[in-house]
Structure 1
């Protein structure tokens, strides 16, 4: 103790000389003294102390405040002491508030520990967070004490095994070992005002903090330099990256250097050079896709480029939930939990959009429309009033806003989108991603990294295909040599690894890295390999009796067999929930097992690396886990007897039904699946029907059709027809009709009509007849459509159902207009208008107004025609239905043109074009552009006219709108005539007439605008014949490339 006392006096003496010697000199001298003092105060324990000692994994923090020179020159020693006491009171409070334990104060430094009594998975995160807050506390302290402005603090942290115990004559609890020494060394090396951490701490917090790589640090007693990192900030949105390895041994990636290099190049192409880039990584199960993603993520973390990061992961259980992957991307980014109330979820989404789109005036509208599409139910939002009854337009608007969202944020900073397990992504999300990648400009600095099994491209072959910068990487099995390197890497703690062990694993794994890991873990479970902190060993006697399973499934089964009964029971019940599961779901399905047994088993399974914890959990108050691999979940599930599965699925269904609360709509498919597997087919059918209706409302038509078909199959053999089946058949007919499957739509509508008639449910007969009428109308069978809709109208009137009547009447009016029954069409549309006004059905009301305008034009009543179009325009704007607003403006433009008010016509078309461009309605935009071209011709603005027609043609060609391209040729002919070149005008007309899309409306326009051409009939005929011989593609290309 005498030496320790002398060291303390020497430290105090050196501290008092700071004003003379300076901080740098004093700190250099204090380092060795403090290390020696630390060793003296934590000597090796005697025999009597062994019982109180234990080895634990602990995070150590050393902090030291320097910079007394300026302060000491102006303050009395007692004032200096009081100032420092006040500071340490604040700093100690930070440590304690974040779960740390103050081990000791040494001079003007502190040693703090996390994990001394209870090891928490986030101990390193808490310690580093404390370090950041301590630096903030010091900075906040300086304004309070102006004389302390020169104070700075160095903080070093390390994580690893230590010996804890009551040591020394005073019996104080402390920690000793190499981990402590390294932490102290990091503090001494750290620049003033900074935080320096070891790799052993960093690997626990990847993705949580902003860090900077530092040059390797030589540390006395270490054979190799240490990799260290400066921590600069907490990430505004943290994505934790879990360390990969076996039994705590962190392994490096083997055999994927070329693939890794290609991902780095794609990253730089997108985030550095500013190009839209899509990279896909494909491979079979267990081949190393997730490991490559992990390594790429780790590498990207420390690149000196700032970017937004968006992550999403598809799951097998949510494959049929519309836009589930898209919702996961936004929920992960904005920390929206599935147990959040709808109000909370809305606020989080709005806050996220506001943060990214602060300078965009309509950010709230974008948030609401996208939010509704992904399932967050913004049906009460005023921004959706005109969209709720128009699912197709809602989807189109949401996808356009999605594109604008990423385009806007990439103007601020590049973006990285990481998407995992896309083989299980829902169709709606895949369509949305394809739309996004296709419509973002090539100069958008965004990289999308897609991880998937090859089956995705069997189901969705075109994903990313049209992207200029597309990188496709397919992972093959490891070579024998790389497999041996991987085995050596995992078993590097085994001295002189026997060749027999290495070849046993390599021969069985067949180049599959996951297989390699699981085989080694099986050998550990079977005690062929014994693990320890510093060294592992192989038991040769057991090795001879090992029977290597021939398949990966058998390896996983062997690991499952090695579990204790509580562990096996817990993981089996987890497998029933799905690859992702929650502790509360398992507790709820295990009333016969004490809670503590389940919770302890979960922790053991996590330590054995069979499951991982995912944070944050999507349901508050729960812990969320995932099986390390989907294969293990599948193997585990198959070990349950069918009767066991049935009961467990029912318990899970009820828990999920209740836990999802008012956000239940997002989990309907999963809930229905559990009810079905639980044997409650009626309840399952009801849930799937609800899921189908929800999908239909979001224009997720394929999912809607699938849910309806599945629900009907579950009720395939009822004792008598039930109302539910009829409603499902009507919904299925609607989905098929919108998918363009007209014959199937007619079949389901006929089935519904027959069942409803048998049960004498007239209103459902009427709804089925409406579907049959729509199918007939789509197929051009207007007389059949008239019969169906007339019957539907009769039944709807009998029932007094005004909503159905309004829809039937406008449909009937449209059919009558096509049949030439103009007066009857007018009467029916006017009645529809009145009823829709009473019921508040704005979608039907807009259809009625538009059709009435067309009818008035046919009746030669232009004033009434304009009145209806203006009413439609006002209503569409008031309810936010921009597509219908653009339609009304286009109609008003056409009407003004017919009245030779071409400037008025031009202005209407210009407004319509602006709306279509805003909403991403490309077909509408192309149509409005060529109409602008026609109006410009009549106004004598020939150069502008050509530009509009050329731009309209480019857009029409992009989306394959052939009728628009035909109109472009016709209008170019009109332009040539206006420019005094009738021969070329008729040549273009001849070319246009050869196209299959030429129709009667084109013929009418040709007669109007070219009828008074001055060219003689014979010359005109000759020019048209020359035009018919022209090459369509070559002529069109010449137009498109003319500036």
Structure 2
């Protein structure tokens, strides 16, 4: 017996699935359709007010009824995305897109916006890029600066994770400009997009090592988020479908307040990274803890894991490896539970750092061996370069100098390619030490001088 609110549903199960299949196959096509429709109507009545919980089942039972199947497929896809079931989200949203007329640009835009985010979390970069191109075209057709700003924000995310930090900053700047150009009637939408644009701009500057400029952008994002002028329902992210199966951008499924809180949490978390790079561990801890408090309030496990990872980085820098290891392990478990592969990469790399510190090179190599192919699979060059550099350090310490030079040079080339100036300086220093160990003091001196030059800048 299943209870939903004040209603009860008695459920029966066949003693064997073969018996169920036999009886089902005995029904004619029309009878099957009638059976599915009757089940769907009963479920709709039973779950009135909470149909999102059974949207996948309703999409199945309404197969063939194009309007209702499309409605529930979208609802199932959006719900799956909020529950971190990204693969399932892609499947249902793709089905909804198949059932949506090409001429319904607004509906297709909303579906693609959510599917693009699912691809982002899955690391499906080619598919994500395709969705972004389609979103860009739809925003142009719809001639809506709010939609254009949303797409610019997503382009910034894509560029950042694929290592194009200049493009990431430029896309974020465009989002800010588009947000500022919107009419006063869209003030809340504009404020959200402007705040989110500053956040992404700060993230791009952070990756480029421009910490003061990053701090200014991130503080601006936090200021705007804290002073938001009311609740806005058309913010970036999944939007709710009205009960009459038409598109409505009036209320996001996750809730507008939650989205603003997530933006504040992300701003605090990134400011924690900036403070840590600038040597302000106390400030970094404060920001990470504020981010963690908000993430727990919104039950955002991805953000929780990232904040915990950040606290681990601080513990690591304060020579508390055991505390750092515990934080990294906790963060990895959370990332693993929700299938967040980028988070898994980051925490595996950090665990490997601690293993190196403890001199457990076997464990470090094992961790990096798990991390490296994952980085490449989801196109995460920033983490990949760090893993390659660490593998080079291990090889150097074990006397495998040829391997060390190869790995360190690979890491350096990748860091130069993506514009990671701090990583380049650190990599040159490590490469210089490896050259010294093989007796090539001229190359060692050259690397050290280049490293110092970058650090002085």
TM-score normalised to the size of structure 2?
0.61
The answer as to 2:146 corresponding to 1:766 is yes
CA distance in 2, matches of 1:776, 1:751: 21
CA distance in 2, matches of 1:897, 1:822: 23
Equivalent of residue 847 in structure 1, options 266, 288, 292:
266
Deviations 1:809-863 (A, max 9, x none): 1222322553554354133221244157975224333333333333434555332
Deviations 1:206-245 (A, max 9, x none): x9556xxxxxxxxxxxxxxxxxxxxxxxx8994444688x
Which residue does 1:744 correspond to in 2?
134
Which residue does 2:113 correspond to in 1?
734
Equivalent of residue 204 in structure 2, options 818, 821, 827:
818
Which residue does 1:671 correspond to in 2?
67
Q: Is the 8 A contact 2:179 2:193 kept in 1?
A: no
The answer as to 2:178 corresponding to 1:791 is yes
Which residue does 1:702 correspond to in 2?
94
CA distance in 2, matches of 1:995, 1:744: 30
Q: CA deviation at 1:730?
A: 5.0
Equivalent of residue 831 in structure 1, options 220, 223, 247:
223
Q: CA deviation at 1:921?
A: 2.9
**Local SS of the residue matching 1:916:** helix
Which residue does 1:338 correspond to in 2?
40
Deviations 1:292-317 (A, max 9, x none): xxxxxxxxxxxxxxxxxxxxx9x9xx
CA distance in 2, matches of 1:374, 1:997: 46
Equivalent of residue 286 in structure 2, options 864, 867, 873:
867
CA distance in 2, matches of 1:786, 1:827: 15
CA distance in 1, matches of 2:424, 2:404: 15
CA distance in 2, matches of 1:996, 1:858: 18
Deviations 1:25-54 (A, max 9, x none): xxxxxxxxxxxxxxxxxxxxxxxxxxxxxx
In 2 relative to 1, CA 938–209 (structure 1 residues): closer, same or farther, beyond 3 Å? closer
In 2 relative to 1, CA 345–773 (structure 1 residues): closer, same or farther, beyond 3 Å? closer
In 2 relative to 1, CA 838–936 (structure 1 residues): closer, same or farther, beyond 3 Å? farther
Q: Is the 8 A contact 2:328 2:347 kept in 1?
A: yes
In 2 relative to 1, CA 784–973 (structure 1 residues): closer, same or farther, beyond 3 Å? closer
Deviations 1:466-519 (A, max 9, x none): xxxxxxxxxxxxxxxxxxxxxxxxxxxxxxxxxxxxxxxxxxxxxxxxxxxxxx
Equivalent of residue 944 in structure 1, options 358, 363, 366:
363
Q: Show the 5 A alignment for 1:472-871.
A: 670-671=66-67, 695=77, 698=81, 699-700=89-90, 701-706=93-98, 709-712=101-104, 727-728=106-107, 731=110, 734=113, 738=117, 739-741=128-130, 742-753=132-143, 765-772=145-152, 774-775=154-155, 778=158, 780=167, 782-783=169-170, 785-795=172-182, 798-799=184-185, 801-802=187-188, 804-816=190-202, 818=204, 821-822=213-214, 824-835=216-227, 839=231, 840=257, 841=259, 842-857=261-276, 860-871=279-290
Deviations 1:723-773 (A, max 9, x none): xx6x447536736855423333222212223xxxxxxxxxx5334333345
Q: CA deviation at 1:868?
A: 1.8
Q: Show the 5 A alignment for 1:954-965.
A: none
Deviations 1:133-161 (A, max 9, x none): xxxxxxxxxxxxxxxxxxxxxxxxxxxxx
Q: Is the 8 A contact 1:789 1:808 kept in 2?
A: yes
In 2 relative to 1, CA 920–1013 (structure 1 residues): closer, same or farther, beyond 3 Å? same
Q: Is the 8 A contact 1:733 1:746 kept in 2?
A: no
In 2 relative to 1, CA 838–975 (structure 1 residues): closer, same or farther, beyond 3 Å? farther
Deviations 1:675-716 (A, max 9, x none): xxxxxxxxxxxxx7897577556544434544555352xxxx
CA distance in 2, matches of 1:690, 1:243: 26
Deviations 1:517-571 (A, max 9, x none): xxxxxxxxxxxxxxxxxxxxxxxxxxxxxxxxxxxxxxxxxxxxxxxxxxxxxxx
Which residue does 1:232 correspond to in 2?
none
CA distance in 1, matches of 2:76, 2:329: 36
CA distance in 1, matches of 2:388, 2:442: 17
Q: Is the 8 A contact 1:692 1:707 kept in 2?
A: no
**Local SS of the residue matching 2:102:** helix
Which residue does 1:968 correspond to in 2?
387
CA distance in 1, matches of 2:216, 2:201: 10
In 2 relative to 1, CA 925–690 (structure 1 residues): closer, same or farther, beyond 3 Å? closer
Between Structure 1 and Structure 2, the one with more strand by share is 1
Q: Is the 8 A contact 2:136 2:151 kept in 1?
A: yes
CA distance in 1, matches of 2:384, 2:216: 35
CA distance in 2, matches of 1:882, 1:735: 18
CA distance in 2, matches of 1:887, 1:799: 35
**Local SS of the residue matching 2:40:** coil
In 2 relative to 1, CA 1008–992 (structure 1 residues): closer, same or farther, beyond 3 Å? closer
Which residue does 1:930 correspond to in 2?
349
CA distance in 2, matches of 1:880, 1:806: 21
CA distance in 2, matches of 1:882, 1:894: 18
Q: Show the 5 A alignment for 1:63-74.
A: none
Q: Show the 5 A alignment for 1:53-64.
A: none
The answer as to 2:47 corresponding to 1:374 is no
Q: Is the 8 A contact 2:395 2:401 kept in 1?
A: yes
Q: Is the 8 A contact 1:910 1:932 kept in 2?
A: yes
CA distance in 2, matches of 1:954, 1:773: 28
Which residue does 1:920 correspond to in 2?
339
**Local SS of the residue matching 1:744:** helix
In 2 relative to 1, CA 338–373 (structure 1 residues): closer, same or farther, beyond 3 Å? closer
CA distance in 2, matches of 1:957, 1:823: 29
Q: CA deviation at 1:937?
A: 0.9
Q: Is the 8 A contact 1:810 1:847 kept in 2?
A: no
CA distance in 1, matches of 2:77, 2:64: 10
Q: CA deviation at 1:1015?
A: 2.3
**Local SS of the residue matching 1:795:** coil
Which residue does 1:1019 correspond to in 2?
440
Deviations 1:398-420 (A, max 9, x none): xxxxxxxxxxxxxxxxxxxxxxx
| Consecutive unaligned residues in structure 2, runs of 5 or more | 1-12, 27-31, 82-88, 118-127, 160-166, 232-256, 445-457
Between Structure 1 and Structure 2, the one with more helix by share is 2
